[in-house]
């Protein structure tokens, strides 16, 4: 028995052979893909282990030269003098926390308000237009944000705060907050949009206003995702480099005065890696100790985000 297809004819045997070839090809792909995906996962894990090993190894060399007690308790960071220098990381930590706190004061209220509007009030047409425009902020290079803070925001703030220095903590903190708004808004809006409409309809049916539904029903139900977005935003602010390096200055001073020049953990790493320290010096190894401190901060934030997300998911 044979079948024709245009100018060619196929027997049943030929059709069976072709089906077997297709099945063999599919089986090979099914066999290959899990192994390929496993390989990519192993590469990711090995890369993480390699980074962590490098940090730990170089950090141990630093602590062979500098007391860990001095590093954690001293309030002076004067690394450039090999003989009388001090390596207390507290000024860098306070500078980092100060700019991060300012950024969160800007990003969290505006980002959350934007998410509530996009999720509960905006029409589908408005959401499709506004959300991509908001997320454009996330695509702007951070060096551009840095010069924006230095050349525009700082002079503007100096008109209101006359004693504000050209390098300060306030300006980069505000601009970091602006940069992080899309992250908070997008993740929070996704969390709120995932709340079932039946919950909203039930609350409206009981006589609640749209604002009450948003604040007292949807917001608590989406707390897991919203809290995680806040933690990720804090991690992003802690790890920000170029904005604080350009507009924050390079004065590692233990202070909580937002008008003064400061230096963050990341800004110090930038300063040293631009060639100010020779290989093998204590200053050189100090960047690994500072990097390890930064790694601990971001790891703690990510673990806290996972814990909060899991905890609120269980409650709601």
* pLDDT tens sequence across 67-106: 888 888 888 888 777 666 788 888 888 989 999 999 999 9
**Do 61 and 90 fall into the same domain?**
no
| Dist. CA 247–CA 261, nearest whole Å | 9
- Say what the pTM is: 0.80
Checking if the pLDDT of 297 tops 80, the result is yes
pLDDT of residue 16: 64
| Dist. CA 308–CA 78, nearest whole Å | 38
| Dist. CA 315–CA 30, nearest whole Å | 40
Identify whether 121 is part of a domain. yes
Identify whether 29 is part of a domain. yes
Place of tokens 């009450």: 212
pLDDT of residue 173: 92
Q: How many helices (H) and strands (E) does the chain have?
A: 14, 4
**Do 60 and 178 fall into the same domain?**
no
* pLDDT tens sequence across 25-81: 677 677 778 888 888 889 988 988 888 888 888 888 888 888 888 888 888 888 777
In the chain, how many domains are there?
A: 2
**Do 35 and 143 fall into the same domain?**
no
* pLDDT tens sequence across 113-158: 988 888 888 878 888 888 788 878 778 888 899 999 989 989 998 8
| Dist. CA 29–CA 232, nearest whole Å | 37
The DSSP line for 234-292 is HHHHHT--HHHHHHS-S-------TTS----HHHHHHHIIIIIS-TTSHHHHHHHHHHH
pLDDT of residue 74: 82
Identify whether 59 is part of a domain. yes
**Do 31 and 159 fall into the same domain?**
no
Identify whether 297 is part of a domain. yes
pLDDT of residue 313: 60
| Dist. CA 152–CA 138, nearest whole Å | 19
H or E element: which one contains 86? strand 86-87
Domain interval for residue 34: 10-65
Place of tokens 């505000």: 174
pLDDT of residue 13: 63
**Do 258 and 191 fall into the same domain?**
yes
**Do 100 and 218 fall into the same domain?**
yes
Mean pLDDT confidence for 277-290: 80
Instruction: Single out the residue of 234, 240, 239 nearest to residue 145, CA to CA.
Output: 240
Q: What value, to the nearest 5°, has the Cα angle with vertex 185 and ends 149 and 249? A: 20
State the CATH number of the domain containing residue 231.
1.10.3720.10
C-alpha distance across the termini of the chain, in Å: 65
Q: In this structure, what is the dihedral angle of CA atoms 272, 278, 280, 283, given to the nearest 10 degrees?
A: -40
pLDDT of residue 312: 64
* pLDDT tens sequence across 220-270: 888 888 888 888 888 888 888 888 888 888 888 888 888 888 888 888 888
**Do 60 and 101 fall into the same domain?**
no
Determine contact, residues 95/262, Cβ cutoff 8 Å: yes
**Do 292 and 243 fall into the same domain?**
yes
**Do 195 and 61 fall into the same domain?**
no
Q: Is 215 exposed, middle or buried (0-12, 13-18, 19+ CB in 10 A)?
A: middle
């Amino acid at each position: 028995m044979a079948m024709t297809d245009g100018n060619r004819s196929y027997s049943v045997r030929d059709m069976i052979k072709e089906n077997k070839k297709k099945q063999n090809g599919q089986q090979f792909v099914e066999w290959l893909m899990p192994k390929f995906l496993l390989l990519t996962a192993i590469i990711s894990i090995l890369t993480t282990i390699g980074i962590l090993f490098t940090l730990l190894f170089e950090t141990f060399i630093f602590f062979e030269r500098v007391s860990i007690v001095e590093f954690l308790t001293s309030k002076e960071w004067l690394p450039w003098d090999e003989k009388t220098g001090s390596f207390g990381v507290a000024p860098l930590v306070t500078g980092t926390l100060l700019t991060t706190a300012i950024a969160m004061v800007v990003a969290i209220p505006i980002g959350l308000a934007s998410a509530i509007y996009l999720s509960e009030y905006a029409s589908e047409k408005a959401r499709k237009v506004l959300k991509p425009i908001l997320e454009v902020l996330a695509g702007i290079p951070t060096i551009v944000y840095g010069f924006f803070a230095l050349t525009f925001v700082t002079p503007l703030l100096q008109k209101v705060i006359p004693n504000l220095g050209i390098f300060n903590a306030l300006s980069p903190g505000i601009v970091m907050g602006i940069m992080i708004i899309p992250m908070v808004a997008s993740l929070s809006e996704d969390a709120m949009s995932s709340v079932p409409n039946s919950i909203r309809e039930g609350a409206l049916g009981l006589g609640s206003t749209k604002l009450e539904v948003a604040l007292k029903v949807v917001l608590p139900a989406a707390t897991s995702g919203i809290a995680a977005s806040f933690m990720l935003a804090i991690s992003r602010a802690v790890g920000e480099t170029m904005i604080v390096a350009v507009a924050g200055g390079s004065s590692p001073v233990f202070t909580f005065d937002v008008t003064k020049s400061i230096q963050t953990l990341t800004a110090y790493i930038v300063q040293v890696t631009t060639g100010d320290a020779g290989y093998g010096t204590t200053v050189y190894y100090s960047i690994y100790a500072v990097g390890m401190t930064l790694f601990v901060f971001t790891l703690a934030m990510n673990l806290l985000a996972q814990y909060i997300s899991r905890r609120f998911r269980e409650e709601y």
